[in-house]
Structure 1
Amino acid sequence: MTLEIFKAKEELRNLIDSYASLGDEKKIAAVMDLFTADINYKVYMNNFLVSDVSGRENMEKDFNKHASEVKTYFTLNGQHQVEINGNNANGVSFSQLKMVRENDGKDILTDYSVKYEDTYVLQDGKWLIKNRIGYFFIIESRVLNN
């Protein structure tokens, strides 16, 4: 592995981790800076397409709406595998994502096991997410007993 490839892999891992950290903090405008202007983001839950959003402006509206409905996000990232080809790359990453929402005065925790398939591009010296498909495979909800 060349030093250039090693550096690119580290930058791409930092991109994925920044997406999770900034999202957890609900810093939506900062999350948008991680996407290309023509981002396409699809979400599948139990093999059904539930969201297909294109363009950074539409993504920001969608993310802000979602964040307004969630009290707390907590994300743990797992493995991240990438293949780099010049200024383009493809990657697969895995995450455990927890969301707390309030329903009828009770906190409801939903735990998601997610696989992301990404396409990345290097623009102006910075790696960005161009396409993202999130596969939410395992979804479990329960009332939190605080």
Structure 2
Amino acid sequence: MTLEILNTKEQLRNLIDDYAYLSDEKKISEVVNLFTPDVVYKAYMGDFLAGNVSGRENMEKEFNVHASHVKTYFTLNGQHSVKINGNMATGISFTQIKMIRETGGKDVLSDYSVKYDDKYVFQEGKWLIKERIGYFVIVEARELKN
């Protein structure tokens, strides 16, 4: 494995970690800048297509609406494997996402186990996500006892 490949893998890992960090902090305008202007983002809950957005502007609107309903996000990234082909790459990553929302005056924790299938492209001197498909494999919600 060449130094260039190792460097690219690190940059791609940093990209998905930045997505998690910025999302947790609800820095949506910075999150969408991790994507290409023509991004396609889909989210499946089981077999149901729960989200389908394209373009940064639409993504920012959708993400802001979602974030407005969430009190706290906490994301933990796990495995991340990539295949690099010049200025393009594909990747699979696994993530645990926890979200706290208020429902009926009570805090409810939603716990998501997610597999992301990504397509990346190197543009303007940096790697960006061109397509992201999130498969929410396990979803659990429970009331928090404060």
TM-score normalised over the length of structure 2: 0.99
Alignment partner, residue 4 of structure 1: 4
In 1, Cα distance between equivalents of 2:121 and 2:81: 15
Q: Secondary structure at the match of 1:10?
A: helix
Gaps of 5+ in 2: none
Instruction: Kindly provide the amino acid, as one letter, of the partner of residue 25 in structure 2.
Output: E
In 1, Cα distance between equivalents of 2:47 and 2:127: 29
Instruction: Kindly provide the amino acid, as one letter, of the partner of residue 14 in structure 1.
Output: N
Alignment partner, residue 88 of structure 2: 88
Alignment partner, residue 59 of structure 2: 59
Residues 53-78 of structure 1 show CA distances to partners (whole Å, capped at 9, x for unaligned) of 00000000000000000000000000
In 2, Cα distance between equivalents of 1:52 and 1:111: 21
Q: Secondary structure at the match of 2:26?
A: coil
1:29-44 matches, cutoff 5 A: 29-44=29-44
Residues 113-138 of structure 1 show CA distances to partners (whole Å, capped at 9, x for unaligned) of 00000000000110000000000010
Instruction: Kindly provide the amino acid, as one letter, of the partner of residue 79 in structure 1.
Output: Q
In 2, Cα distance between equivalents of 1:77 and 1:140: 18
1:1-146 matches, cutoff 5 A: 1-146=1-146
TM-score normalised over the length of structure 1: 0.99
Instruction: Kindly provide the amino acid, as one letter, of the partner of residue 23 in structure 1.
Output: S
Residues 56-112 of structure 1 show CA distances to partners (whole Å, capped at 9, x for unaligned) of 000000000000000000000000000000000000000000000000100000000
Q: Shift of residue 48 of structure 1? A: 1.1
Q: Secondary structure at the match of 2:99?
A: strand
Instruction: Kindly provide the amino acid, as one letter, of the partner of residue 49 in structure 1.
Output: L
